[in-house]
């Protein structure tokens, strides 16, 4: 077994393995190497750098004793895959389902999540997107405090557990997207500093120190993250990565890390013979994020689009505080449905400046949109979800829109369980101040901050989905609504068409009660947000799907009860 580690500034490095410390030989480029023939799969080891440590391997494939314990040798070749016929999934035309492994089931493991894949298959989603799985402090966490980025949280089932989950998803015809965090590492258990210049020495974001992507020594730091991405896509057969908060990546080099990563992933996709997706979470509203490399872009397959969420949320909930202030009014919802974004270079009151750029020529499938996700639920103080009536309307618009729609676990049946922020830091100073840090992060968002203690185990336990809710008629009815919407989206090409020039929107400019979205020439989605029945001059030949049994199509137009939505084959009336 050959042990290798990058430590360019060290004068001596040892590997602590099999009960003793063995000196390592310095090689070119700051790498150190030692051959230990008697070591193999499962062998515990750690590194000693200039007498300090022992530390886990920065590229540790397994941390069986957690982030403060030794690493373990992990042989990827020992796992037996059964997905040899899997040809992958294209993000275009797909529906994504986001979940957190620890709260998706009561057990909180990959193995338990496999038992629920039948539910997702019947829902007809194409991808599951799992929140980060890197080891974290303690036994519970959202995942964005991860360290040991090449390893898999043992609480969930470790590396074999993740592989079994991916294998099972592929058997169900479902692709897997993994959420990864490359803009920072967690504040606890981060042992990269002794090894090399992994960090830039300044605060990159609210969450931690900036990663060194463009300073001295950054060549190997960039490879650390790129090879991590390739590991998930290659060794774990994962179909795509969601890259957390890429706007917090500080990179002034001529070729941005994302462009370099995109080129590497494209090459890997050619080698493995299946599509591989990169989805960026970006607050920049910059269309270059999703333009191809040969068009001067960064080559991301898609990006999360918060503008769609905010416009939908405001329309169905009535909330206009904080950043929702810019999204009030059906004119804003009409703009985002027909142009992709709201902030396209104009004024953003929340930021106090102009923001964004027009997404001219960008198809809707490159923008991942939602009514709920882990951020938009979990960033509310109590982690509360939208009520069922709001979900019905929001989902009706989302799943008939030109975007790539994404659902958040439990949304499809109107789960009552909250999803607040939770963590389990080991150090008392981090544990005791976590709530205060969280409140400070959202200062100015317009919330009255009354949140459960993120360090309290009950906060985590209350976030676990209650699958028993599906036995209740109201929850089952909403699930049927989501199933029907997804089935209709897949049956009608107009509903998955990503071209914004094929979308037309009319809306009530006086009272703001109704909106009609035309998809193609003859499919319309009509919504009544108000509290009174309205009749719209839409000549509907067929009501394809309705959220209320009292929706009626007649000679005078389309009759919509309060808080209802209908999808119709229709002809646009003269007054709409």
pLDDT at 441: 80
pLDDT of 571 over the 80 cut:
no
Q: Cα 50 to chain center, whole Å?
A: 39
pLDDT at 439: 83
What does the pLDDT look like over 13-39, one tens digit per residue? 999 999 999 999 999 999 999 999 999
pLDDT of 574 over the 60 cut:
no
Instruction: Kindly state the average pLDDT of the residues 514-523.
Output: 95
**Lowest model confidence (mean pLDDT) among 55-59, 300-304, 435-439:** 435-439
CB-neighbour burial class of residue 245 (10 A; exposed 0-12, middle 13-18, buried 19+): buried
- Phi then psi for residue 566, to 5 deg, are -140, 145
**Lowest model confidence (mean pLDDT) among 130-139, 185-194, 292-301, 433-442:** 433-442
Q: Cα 45 to chain center, whole Å?
A: 33
pLDDT at 473: 98
281 catalytic residue (yes or no): yes
Q: What is the pTM of this model?
A: 0.97
pLDDT at 462: 97
244 catalytic residue (yes or no): yes
Instruction: Kindly state the average pLDDT of the residues 134-151.
Output: 96
pLDDT at 204: 65
pLDDT of 555 over the 90 cut:
no
8 A C-beta contact, residue 304 and residue 277 = no
Q: Is the dihedral of CA 260, 266, 267, 269 positive or negative?
A: positive
Catalytic residue from among 244, 251, 306, 469: 244
The 3-state secondary structure of 493-553, one letter per residue:
HHHHCCCHHHEEEEECCCCCCEEEEEECCCEEEEEECCCCCEEECEEEEEEEEECCCCCEE
The 3-state secondary structure of 165-177, one letter per residue:
HHHHHHHCCCEEE
Catalytic residue from among 167, 281, 306, 434: 281
């Amino acid at each position: 077994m050959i042990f290798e580690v990058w430590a360019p500034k060290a004068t001596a490095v040892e590997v602590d393995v099999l009960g003793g410390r063995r000196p390592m030989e310095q090689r070119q480029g700051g790498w150190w190497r030692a051959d230990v023939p008697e070591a193999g799969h499962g062998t515990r080891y750690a590194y000693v750098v200039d007498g300090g440590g022992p530390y886990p391997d920065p590229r540790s494939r397994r941390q069986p004793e957690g982030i403060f314990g030794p690493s373990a040798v992990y042989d990827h070749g020992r796992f037996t895959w059964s997905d040899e016929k899997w040809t992958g999934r294209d993000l275009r035309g797909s529906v994504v389902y986001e979940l957190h492994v620890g709260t998706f089931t009561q057990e909180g493991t990959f193995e338990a999540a496999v038992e629920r894949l039948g539910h997702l298959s019947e829902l007809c989603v194409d991808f599951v997107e799992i929140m980060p799985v890197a080891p974290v402090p303690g036994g519970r966490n959202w995942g964005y405090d991860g360290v040991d980025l090449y390893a898999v949280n043992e609480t969930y089932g470790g590396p074999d557990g993740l592989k079994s989950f991916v294998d099972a998803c592929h058997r169900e015809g479902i692709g897997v997207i993994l959420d990864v965090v490359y803009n920072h590492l967690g504040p606890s258990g981060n042992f990269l500093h002794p090894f090399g210049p992994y960090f830039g020495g300044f605060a990159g974001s609210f969450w931690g120190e900036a990663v060194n992507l463009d300073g001295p020594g950054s060549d190997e730091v960039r490879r650390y993250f790129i090879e991590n991405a390739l590991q998930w896509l290659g060794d774990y057969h994962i179909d795509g990565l969601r890259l957390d908060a890429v706007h917090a990546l500080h990179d002034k080099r001529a070729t941005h890390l994302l462009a370099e990563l995109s080129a590497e992933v494209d090459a890997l996709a050619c080698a493995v013979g299946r599509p591989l997706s990169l989805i960026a979470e970006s607050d920049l509203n910059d269309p270059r994020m999703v333009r191809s490399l040969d068009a001067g872009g960064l080559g991301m397959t898609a990006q999360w689009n918060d503008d769609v969420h905010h416009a939908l949320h405001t329309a169905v909930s009535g909330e206009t505080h904080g950043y929702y202030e810019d999204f009030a009014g059906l004119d804003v919802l009409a703009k985002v449905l027909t142009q992709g974004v709201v902030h396209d270079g104009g004024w953003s009151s929340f930021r106090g400046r102009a923001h964004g750029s027009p997404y001219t020529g960008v198809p809707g499938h490159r923008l991942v949109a939602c009514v709920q996700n882990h951020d938009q639920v979990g960033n509310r103080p109590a982690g509360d979800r939208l009520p069922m009536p709001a979900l019905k309307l929001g989902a009706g618009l989302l799943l008939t829109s030109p975007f790539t729609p994404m659902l958040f676990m439990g949304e499809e049946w109107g789960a009552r369980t909250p999803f607040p922020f939770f963590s389990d830091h080991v150090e008392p100073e981090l544990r005791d101040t976590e709530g205060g840090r969280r409140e400070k992060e959202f200062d100015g968002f317009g919330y009255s901050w009354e949140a459960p203690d993120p360090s309290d185990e009950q906060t985590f336990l209350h976030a676990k989905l209650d699958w028993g809710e599906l036995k209740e008629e109201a929850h089952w009815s909403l699930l049927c609504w989501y199933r029907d919407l997804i089935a209709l989206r897949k049956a009608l090409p107009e509903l998955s068409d990503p071209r914004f020039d094929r979308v037309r929107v009319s809306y009530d400019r006086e009272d703001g009660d109704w909106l009609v979205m035309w998809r193609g020439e003859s499919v319309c989605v009509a919504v009544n947000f108000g509290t009174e029945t309205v009749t719209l001059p839409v000549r509907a030949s067929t009501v394809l799907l309705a959220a209320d049994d009292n929706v009626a199509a007649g000679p005078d137009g389309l009759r919509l009860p309060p808080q209802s939505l209908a999808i119709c084959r229709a002809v646009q009336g003269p007054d709409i």
